[in-house]
Amino acid sequence: MCGMGDTYEETPRVELTPEASLLLRRLREAHGPLMFHQSGGCCDGSAPMCYPAGEFRTGASDILLGELAVDGVEEPVEFWMSRSQYEAWRHTRLIVDVVPGRGSGFSLEAPEGVRFLIRSRVVDV
């Protein structure tokens, strides 16, 4: 799945809450195709950054965890994570949610008065 020789069972899965999907549809209308990158935070409550697709340069230190299907959005939203974060989250299902508050000024949802937030659940290994 991620092309790194890991088995499917070891690959974290990423999903969206309905609130996250709704916000992504609005952001897609305003900004075009989107992507996420998770570079920091090792536990519930960390915030993935949402960018226009391709604006954040990924490289050898990043892993593509998944391509998220969002109803009403033509193309998938790629979810990238730094390799160091992947090691901490590799046996976890990540759930992208939205909560009130101010996220990073660089993440597209910041002006909306909300921020994306990671919730997690350990998966069987």
* pLDDT class of 91 with cuts at 50, 70, 90: confident
Give the percent of the chain with pLDDT over 70.
Answer: 82
Mean pLDDT of 88-95: 84
Both structure tokens of 113: 């008065």
pLDDT of the residue at 120: 86
- Taking a C-beta distance cutoff of 8 angstroms, is the pair 89, 48 a contact? no
Round the average pLDDT of the chain to a whole number and report it. 85
Q: What is the pLDDT of residue 124?
A: 64
Could you report the per-residue pLDDT of 107-125, keeping only the tens digit for each? 999 888 999 999 988 776 5
Q: Per this entry, what is the length of the chain?
A: 125
Q: What is the pLDDT of residue 85?
A: 85
Q: Are 92 and 12 in contact (CB under 8 A)?
A: yes
pLDDT tens across 18-55, in order? 999 999 999 999 999 999 999 876 566 688 999 999 99
The first and second tokens of residue 57, run together, are 């340069």
